[in-house]
Amino acid sequence: MKLQRSVDTTAAPAAVFAYLSDFTTTNEWDPGTVKTERVSGDGGVGTTYHNTSKFMGRETELTYEVVEHQPDSRFALRGENSSVIANDTMEIAPAGAGSRVTYTADFEFKGLGKLVAPLFKPALKKLGDEAESGLREALAKL
């Protein structure tokens, strides 16, 4: 199941990348995030984060690892727990005097989650809409 959203901002790509590549900023802009903490690393490839999120009324914990880090343009993380693998990618490109951020979240459900995944679609769409709004507001402050 894939979600993708784009957000335009007046902030420069370098500022946007610096903000978003610190995955702990999900605490500020992602309404599904309860808390994200850096566990190890400097933000580059191999850095790990512990994320607690709330989805459909339940808290879930994922360990994310940075798998791609291209300064000022793109980074990707892979999160996993016993029920889901989440691949999150942020692409930052110049757009006019500012930037365009394209955020893609791809969820692969495991076990019984595979069977009920289609039922999650409306809740995931709502989560994506809320994250887009939060991202737009946070980037406007840069």
Spatial neighbors of 32 by CB under 8 A, at least 6 apart, are 53, 54, 55, 127, 130, 131
The per-residue pLDDT for 29 is 95
The per-residue pLDDT for 64 is 98
Task: Say how far apart CA 42 and CA 52 lie, in whole Å.
Answer: 20
**Structural domains counted in the chain:** 1
Residue % of the chain over a pLDDT of 90: 77
The per-residue pLDDT for 118 is 75
Q: Confidence band (pLDDT; 50, 70, 90) for 9? A: very high
Domain that holds residue 61: 2-140
Q: Does 55 have pLDDT greater than 90?
A: no
Q: What are the phi and psi torsion angles at 128 (to 5°)? A: -65, -40
Alpha carbon distances (Å) from 83 to 34, 36, 107, 131: 18, 19, 10, 22
Task: Say how far apart CA 75 and CA 70 lie, in whole Å.
Answer: 6
Average pLDDT for the chain: 93
Residue range 25-32: average pLDDT? 93
**Quick check: helix, strand or coil at residue 115?**
helix
The per-residue pLDDT for 98 is 97
CB 2 within 8 A of CB 105: yes
CATH number of the domain at 39, please.
Answer: 3.30.530.20
The per-residue pLDDT for 121 is 82
Q: Does 5 have pLDDT greater than 90?
A: yes
Nearest to 70 by CA among 91, 99, 97: 91
The per-residue pLDDT for 115 is 72
The per-residue pLDDT for 142 is 94
Q: Confidence band (pLDDT; 50, 70, 90) for 126? A: confident
